[in-house]
């Protein structure tokens, strides 16, 4: 994955002072970010921090109350979601959202409906996920969670995105399955994609990201390269606890570094 430098000229995706409301609730408050070509940019944060709202707003599924979304130098803030997909902003939504009664291949065909020209075809997805070709006629409702997540990724890839938005790939999956899915990332990046992902599993995010940004209650609380931030800083930003920054890991921070989060423990 490419290293970002401050001298990089134009970000592929830029979010400027984005504010989004759900009714009276201010889910995002003047959040900004810049994602450069070829990088893996991870948004981390606890349940309800605004991560999905950010990704969905970039995909065009929520309208911001203020701020701007620029893609490849163009203002996309009021562009319809399907036009954004055609332009190359494609999301793998939280919870997969496959058509369960359709087969694996039919789901992939749906993803290819508005496909841009590019390296990704259904055949190429079958090469990436070795098991998939033999089970292409199976309904996706019959697949395991990890298999469904792979189909959801494949469905996004066949659209040939330039920016792939990944919303909580790890949700509801066993750690070993999550690692297997994330292990595919280098092969995906090698085809020239840029990835913006949302992840509650901080360890996982730090492993794969070239840049991280932490949200807490709709605000940015930390931003930087994983190598430039300390564990205590991440914990403080994630939980909003001044004590964590002082470096006294308690029950919460232990959970954080083992991939479990307060929300997942509560459910
Ligand atoms: P999670 O991991 O739970 O998905 P998140 O960081 O992705 O958390 P969001 O889903 O963006 O957070 O939610 C941010 C806040 O906005 C939360 O308080 C949530 O309850 C609220 N929210 C999200 N979507 C809606 C919606 N469609 N209508 C009303 N409130 C919403």
pLDDT in tens, 118-128: 999 999 999 99
pLDDT in tens, 218-228: 999 999 999 99
Instruction: Give the residue from 112, 128, 159 where a domain finishes.
Output: 159
Sheet with 66-71: list strands edge to edge.
25-35, 13-22, 66-71, 74-75
Residue 52 CA to ligand 1 centre (angstroms)? 7
Instruction: Name 155's bridge partners.
Output: none
- pTM attached to this predicted model: 0.87
What confidence tier does 30 reach under pLDDT thresholds 50, 70, 90?
Answer: very high
Atom of ligand 1 nearest to the CA of 52: 7
Give the per-residue pLDDT at 265: 26
* Residue-number span of the structural domain to which 113 is assigned: 95-159
Instruction: Give the residue from 144, 159, 174 where a domain finishes.
Output: 159
CB of 49 within 6 A of ligand 1: the answer is: yes
CB of 261 within 6 A of ligand 1: the answer is: no
CB of 174 within 6 A of ligand 1: the answer is: no
Atom of ligand 1 nearest to the CA of 215: 6
Averaged pLDDT for residues 32-49: 95
In a domain, 8, yes or no: no
Number of separate domains in the chain: 2
């Amino acid at each position: 994955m490419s290293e970002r430098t401050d001298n990089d000229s134009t970000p592929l995706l830029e979010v400027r002072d984005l504010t989004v409301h759900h009714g009276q609730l201010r889910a995002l408050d003047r959040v900004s970010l810049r994602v450069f070509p070829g990088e893996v940019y991870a948004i981390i944060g606890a349940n309800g921090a605004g991560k999905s709202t950010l990704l969905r707003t970039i995909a065009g599924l929520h309208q911001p109350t203020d701020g701007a979304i620029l893609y490849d130098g163009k203002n996309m803030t009021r562009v319809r979601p399907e036009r954004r997909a055609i332009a190359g902003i494609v999301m793998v939504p939280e919870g997969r959202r496959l058509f369960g009664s359709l087969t694996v291949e039919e789901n992939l065909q749906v993803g290819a409906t508005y496909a841009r020209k590019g390296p990704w075809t259904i055949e190429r997805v079958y090469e990436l996920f070795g098991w998939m070709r033999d089970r292409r006629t199976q309904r996706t409702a019959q697949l395991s969670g990890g298999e469904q997540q792979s189909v959801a990724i494949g469905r996004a890839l066949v659209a040939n995105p330039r920016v792939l938005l990944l919303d909580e790939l790890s949700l509801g999956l066993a750690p070993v399955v999550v690692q297997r899915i994330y292990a595919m990332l280098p092969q995906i990046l090698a085809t020239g994609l840029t990835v913006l992902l949302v992840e509650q599993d901080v360890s996982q995010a730090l492993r794969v990201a070239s840049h991280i940004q932490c949200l807490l209650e709709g605000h940015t609380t930390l931003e930087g390269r994983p190598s430039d931030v300390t564990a205590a800083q991440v914990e403080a930003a994630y939980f909003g606890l001044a004590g964590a920054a002082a470096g006294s890991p308690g029950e919460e921070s232990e959970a954080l570094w083992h991939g479990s989060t307060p929300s997942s423990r509560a459910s």
